[in-house]
Structure 1
Amino acid sequence: MFYSTVRFLANIYLNIYYRFEVIGRENVPEGVAVILAPNHIHWADPIVIACKVTAQTISFMGKQELFRNPALKWLLTKLTVIPVRRGEADVTAVKSALRVLKNNGILGIFPEGTRVKQGEEKPPEAGFVVLAIKSKCGILPVSIEGNYKFRSTIRIVIGKPIDLSPYYGKKNDRETLEDIGLKLMKEIKELGTTR
């Protein structure tokens, strides 16, 4: 209820300030565990994705630093955001993420791990690939483009879920995981060229 209310209010704000073009909503599975993986260009991306991609709850993974402010910590917790310590193996965050997927929820992860300006590139972190293989769920690639200027158009393209079942039950080394991540990131980028 809280998530839906905040989403409704945020949508009002977003529709006043921006225009939206959303392609591929039909690709979002319902009642099935999936990792939603968008590129990350602006601090408001999680809000836009949560409001425009699906009415289902998306549990995003967010940097631990956001939880230092007590009021923001309360809000993010209510919105099912999972705190993660970047740059280290955060077992608690991994367990929380796997719990979301085990309950057939949607887990939101920005593969690059931080904001990357349009036109620039950063290798993705392998964590989202590990989670997908461990939980045996698909990865939903999402491209988001726009400059977030008043009344500008923000374009969102949702691809079809990517199946990683050939890697289930195997001992995938770091190089393999990184290679999968790079291929997935390429697919996300290519969605942005879809017309």
Structure 2
Amino acid sequence: MYSGIALLFKLFFRIFGKAEVINKEVLPKRGPFVIACTHTGWVDVLCLGATLYPLKINYMAKKQLFDHKFTSWLMKKLNAFPVDRENPGPSVLKIPARLLSNGEIVGIFPSGTRATEQTALKQGVITIAQRAGVPIFPVTYIGPNNLRELISRKKTHLIFGEPIHINTNEKKERKYYLEILEQKLISVSK
């Protein structure tokens, strides 16, 4: 189902204004790695998935999206897994660790919520990448946030930043790497 939806949205984005994709060549041809993308609405999730296809992303998503039977089924078909942001448990680290150890790609929206303002990035993305020993690729999405803006052909940009390699042997604090990620997300959007 993931493939069918990705192809459908690839076509949809071509019809309603192809996204300008910048620096995608920095991405490896396969996982494991973490994608850390800005998050301003549901369109960025679909645009990112369609742009990276045939690579498949396993999305970390808030657990409320799994509350209803249909949306839960759909989210699982789109390779999303639930995270309780208010009471994060061991699964917050275990699920992405298992996926990354299987060579897969994990997509995280480090602001933790849809936001148009800069919000403090969550440290989870650093912890996950550090424990798995994989790079983080920062991605900035600039474009439509809803169906009306998408149909009106609002300009869309998806900008890939250079990878962040976290040296697991160094004693640098997560805050150091978080600042690097934040700087890269801001710099690629300019």
After TM superposition, the score normalised by the length of structure 2 is 0.90
> Unaligned stretches of 5+ in structure 1?
none
One-letter amino acid of the counterpart of residue 58, structure 2: S
- Aligned-pair identity in percent equals 27
Asked if structure 2 preserves the Cα contact closer than 8 Å seen for 1:111 and 1:185, the reply is: no
Please report the RMSD computed on the Cα atoms of aligned residues, expressed in angstroms: 1.6
Separation in 1, partners of 2:19, 2:75: 25
One-letter amino acid of the counterpart of residue 78, structure 2: L
Structure 2 CA distance for partners of 1:31 and 1:20, relative to 1, 3 Å: closer
Asked if structure 1 preserves the Cα contact closer than 8 Å seen for 2:166 and 2:177, the reply is: no
> Unaligned stretches of 5+ in structure 2?
none
**1:6 matched to 2:5:** yes
Q: What is residue 115 of structure 2 aligned with on the other side?
A: 116
Separation in 1, partners of 2:23, 2:52: 9
**1:181 matched to 2:178:** yes
Separation in 2, partners of 1:25, 1:170: 29
- Deviation, 1:14, is 2.5
- Deviation, 1:21, is 0.4
Q: What is residue 103 of structure 2 aligned with on the other side?
A: 104
Separation in 2, partners of 1:26, 1:108: 18
Q: What is residue 137 of structure 2 aligned with on the other side?
A: 140
Asked if structure 2 preserves the Cα contact closer than 8 Å seen for 1:82 and 1:93, the reply is: no
152, 155, 170: which is aligned to 1:153? 155
Separation in 2, partners of 1:192, 1:53: 19
**1:71 matched to 2:70:** yes
Separation in 1, partners of 2:92, 2:69: 19
Asked if structure 1 preserves the Cα contact closer than 8 Å seen for 2:43 and 2:144, the reply is: no
Asked if structure 2 preserves the Cα contact closer than 8 Å seen for 1:61 and 1:82, the reply is: yes
- Deviation, 1:170, is 5.5
Greater CA deviation, 142-151 or 108-117?
142-151
**1:127 matched to 2:124:** yes
One-letter amino acid of the counterpart of residue 181, structure 1: L
Asked if structure 1 preserves the Cα contact closer than 8 Å seen for 2:23 and 2:161, the reply is: yes
**1:59 matched to 2:58:** yes
- Deviation, 1:143, is 1.0
Deviations 1:5-46 (A, max 9, x none): 111112222323333100112111123310001111112211
Helix, strand or coil: the match of 1:181? helix
- Deviation, 1:52, is 1.2
Equivalenced residues, count: 185
After TM superposition, the score normalised by the length of structure 1 is 0.88
Separation in 2, partners of 1:77, 1:94: 18
- Deviation, 1:137, is 0.3
- Deviation, 1:171, is 6.0
Deviations 1:99-123 (A, max 9, x none): 1100111100011111121xx2111
One-letter amino acid of the counterpart of residue 164, structure 2: I
Helix, strand or coil: the match of 2:159? strand
